[in-house]
Amino acid sequence: MNPWCARLFAVLLLGASQHAVALDYTLPDLDGRPQSLEQYRGKWVIVNYWATWCGACRKEFPDLVSLHEQHRDSDIVVVGINFETIDRKQLQAFVAAQNISYPVLRSDPVRVTPIGPVPALPTTYIIDPDGKPVAGEVGIVMRRDLEDYIAGQRGM
């Protein structure tokens, strides 16, 4: 793992390490149907909080889409959580225009989520296959760093 990646996920965001049990976190998808992180149990889940107005968030989309596309049928899934108040149809159009292929859920902006705090956007958490948050980062994350972190955790 490169040193930047080690720094990136070395310190868990406040609150993430407080979860000793798996998360029960359900939000509506773009069609209004409830979706739960529980449905991804057994996989590493990259939970990325973002908003349409966030330029840094847009920079992450290609890497997150690439990561999701390569791993979704095996061991890693990306879940985007739109963290703003926006019309559902506008959000659907934005997701389509950005070619976001991973699941997108909707949440009103709140300071602390069941996973942990979201002090700024983008914020990303990594959930282990047992459903527990194990790491997080505020700011842009890259595919390679996420893969390196997960590979390092598997080697432990």
Rounded distance between C-alpha atoms, residue 62 and residue 12, angstroms: 24
Q: Are 26 and 34 in contact (CB under 8 A)?
A: yes
Each residue's pLDDT expressed in tens, for the chain with a length of 156 residues: 444 344 444 334 434 444 445 577 999 999 999 999 999 999 999 999 999 999 999 999 999 999 999 998 999 999 999 999 999 999 999 999 999 999 999 999 998 999 999 999 999 999 999 999 999 999 999 999 999 999 998 875
pTM of this prediction? 0.87
* Cα–Cα distance measured from residue 30 to residue 41, given in angstroms and rounded to the nearest whole number: 21
Beta strands in 66-156 (DSSP E): 76-83, 104-107, 123-127, 133-138
Distance from C-alpha of 44 to C-alpha of 139, rounded to nearest angstrom: 20
Domain with residue 68: its CATH number is 3.40.30.10
Residue range(s) defining the domain that contains residue 19:
3-154
The total of structural domains in the chain comes to 1
